[in-house]
Each structure stands twice: as structure tokens, then as C-alpha cells.
Structure 1
Amino acid sequence: MTEVAVRCRGLRQSFGEQVAVDGVDLDVRAGEVFGLLGPNGAGKTTTIRAITTLLPTAAGVVEIFGVDAARHKLATRRLIGYVPQQLSADGSLTGWENVALFARLFDVPRAQRRSAVRTALGAVGLTTVAERLAGTYSGGMVRRLELAQALVSGPKLLVLDEPTIGLDPIGREGVWDRIAQIRAETGMTVLVTTHYMDEADQHCERLALMHRGRIRARGTPAELKAAVGPDATLDDVFRTITDDTFEETGEGMRDVRATRRTSGRLG
């Protein structure tokens, strides 16, 4: 039986009277690239934050490689590398210093830190610019630096929340090339949210589409497209599932402002 990397059962999260995640069941298989899609406010980021223990689990169960995330937060975090939507790199530090900081934060043993930092920077192709200030990096380089930050602790699960937001096509391709290379070398599981349907179609083995806090469809890209029509695209699937409505359910002005600020700094 294939090992389950992420298991959610009956996951529910509310903010006041607003239900952001409404009874989500989700399974991500070990070693796969799994895409979580949906319009703004669908509950994707709230789900990701619950999976990464950044939000307490209000109701339901989240397990990461069999570890109960609510009961064992520290053990769960040691299994996860997380790249959020919001910018996490510090432009006033060098690339090396940024990754070294995350090595300390993730409690990488002191004797292993230099090697871990060097390996993470090499994995994302930033070795030659490691001593430059991150503030001088291009948008694509910043995103790759954030990948290195997430990888420095050697996680089993890489969680990426809109990893290519604000990047041009070349930058987007560069980030995905590095993700593919890392996965090929390590067998790491990848859970990603994205608004780019072409990315989901090309890079994700399975998908779940959220709308109004619930999973509305799941399957391989080919299966989801075939269910809509013989010539359907994932954009068609997206429109069909959401019924062309984009009511906000979980994210507000604060989230939009943070996302736009990140996009501006990466551009």
C-alpha cells in the first residue's frame, strides 16, 4: 500500500462566523506532486496553514506521515519544509545568511549546518551568488532562495503556497525545474497551491479543487478534464466547478494586501 504523506479528515476552520474550511478530507501520497486548486477565498491557504501547524486544528484530524499534527507539532514541523505566499527571505542578508538562519530555526545540528546550507543552496542553483545580498536577487532567484530555506532541514514534505506568484514565465519555469530536480533526487512529496492552471496540468500528478471551503473534485489532470469534455482544459474544469462565482470565503483585505506586496517585491 502506498504510504500517505498527508491525511486530513473532517478538517474544519472558522474565523468568527465565517467558515473557511468546511469538512475537508484529503490524502496526499508519499512521493507525488499534489496540487490544491481553487479561487481566492476557497480555503486553500487556511488548509495549508493547518497542515503546517501554523493554525490550530479547530476540528478534524491532520496527520503528516502518520504523525498527529495537533498532538505533536514539533515532530510534524520537522517533517515539513514550507514556502508561504508572503516573502520570507530577508533582503538585507546574503543568500547564505538567509539559509543559515533557517537552519538554526529548524534546529539543524550545529556540526551539520554548513554542509546543510551548502547542499540546499546547490540544490536550487544559488551557490555562485550565495555571498550576494538577497536584495540584489531577481524574483526567480528569491523564490529559489526560499526553496533553499525550506529544504535546509531535509524535510520529507515540501509545501508550496503559490510558489511562482508574481514571476515572469522564465522565472516560473526556473522554479519548477528546481522542484522537479529536487524531487527526482530525493523522492520528496510536494503539496502545492497555484492559480496557474498550466502549471497544475504540467507538474501535478493529482489535483483537488476547492470551492467555498470544500473539496469539489479530485483526480489526475486528465481525469478532471475528461469529466468536463473531450477538449476541456483545466481552466474549463475550474470554471465548471466554481460555477463562475468567486465569492470570498476565507481570505480578506489583509491576505490580498500581503500577496500583492509579495508580488511587487518579486517583480
Structure 2
Amino acid sequence: MNTLQAIILAIIEGITEFLPVSSTGHMIIASSFFGIAHDDFTKLFTIVIQLGAILSVVVLYFKRFFQSFDFYFKLLVAFIPAVVFGLLFSKKIDALLESPVTVAVSLLVGGIILLKVDDWFSPSQTVPTTELKENITYIQAFKIGLFQCLAMVPGVSRSGASIVGGMSQGLSRTSAAEFSFFLAVPTMLGATAKKCYDYYKDGFVLSHDQINYLIIGNVVAFVVALLAIKTFIGFLTKNGFKMFGYYRIITGIVLLVIHFFIHPLTII
């Protein structure tokens, strides 16, 4: 990895982390094109720079994080399914992370689903976040957490799965998106901590350049994610999911065409 590649991957993370398009899938494809996807540090990098992205949520919603302790427990309940599934299927998940074709198919299928989401649900009102905190139940939070687990398949999109999960529980598009943002904080912190521990346990030592790449990546991801969240909320409220659905379908088809007819997308 070089500095330019680190910046590009961080920009991709910042833009896609909170959009229903799969940040992990996009970074797998980008790093595959760069020819660095097989590198252990690249795999660590794509996880750790999520810290920069989640910091943007804390900054944007700072006051809301300290309004209700009850809401923290609901986030914990929503987070539990990811912990359980992550521990049970970690090896299978790691294997899927090495398959660009899985990403392409997931993007395509997920895109088709997003085209239908606005027809399945009709949340015309935007529920204020304070009201969301008071009204969402523990059962609803747990069910949203189950939806989030679908994103363990690369290309599915954590934010997309949890937003659809929130809408299935009666939340508006905007409220479901905001709950997805909040849920991203413990989820990404947990994933980053586990990945760092695994690398530490295996004796992985970072070089001076690699530490610099992680710092640059987190800063870039933070700044870009700030802009992405503000833009996404406004766009989603006004336009719904269809544009993201079309984007995913087109991207998935292009990747499959490249893989099967031009040059195989492989992670060696």
C-alpha cells in the first residue's frame, strides 16, 4: 500500500459506510484493482479506518448520545446479534471477504431489493430522534440487529440492512437511517477491536509507514463521512432508495462482466 491508495480507500470508506451500497464491498473491489487486497495490512486497514467514520457520527450527534441511558441499552441489544454471529461464523465471513464475485452478486441482489423497499414501506413522516429514542422497543432493537447481521456477507451493506430492518419495525426512512448510524458505533468499535486483537495475537507488527497510513486513512474517512451523512439524510428523506438500487445493480453487473468476460477479479 502507498499513500495514494490509502487516501482513495479512506475516501471510499467515508462515502459508502453510511450509504446502502456496502463500504466493505467497495473496498474489496478497489483493493483488488490495486493488487493489494491479499495483503494482511490492507485487510487491517479497511477495518481500522472505520473508526474515523464512526467518529463522524459521534461528532454530528454528540448531544443525542447523552440524552438517554435507556437508549444505550437498546443499542446494546441491537448489537448482540452481530457479536454472536460474528464469533460463530468468523472463519466463513473471512472467506467471503476474499471473494469479489460474492460482492458483485450481493450488490446486484441488494440493488433489486432496494428498488422495492419504497413500495414495501410508506414512512411519509420524519420522526425526531428524541421521539425515536423514547418509542423504539427492545424487541424492535433486537430485530434491527438481526437485519444488520445480513451485512456479514460482503456487498450486502450494514447500513442498508439495518435501515430496512428499522423500516420493517415501523420507523420512517430518516429515523431508521439515524438508528443505523447510532448502531454503527458499537458495531464498528467491536469489529475493529476484534480485528486488532487477532492481529496482535498473531504477532503482527506495524511499520512506521503503516501507522502513518492508518492515521491518514482515519482522518480522511472522518472528514468524508461527515459530508456523506449530511447529504445522505437529506437525499433519503426526499428521494428514497431507488437511486441506490440502480447504482448497486449497475455496479454489480459491471463487476460480473469484468470478472467473467474481461479479466477475473481475484484476491490471491
- TM-score, normalized by length of structure 1? 0.28
Task: With the length of structure 2 as denominator, give the TM-score of the two structures.
Answer: 0.28
Select the structure that is richer in strand: 1
Q: Greater relative contact order: 1 or 2 (C-alpha under 8 angstroms, separation 6 or more)? A: 2
- Structure (1/2) with the larger helix percentage: 2
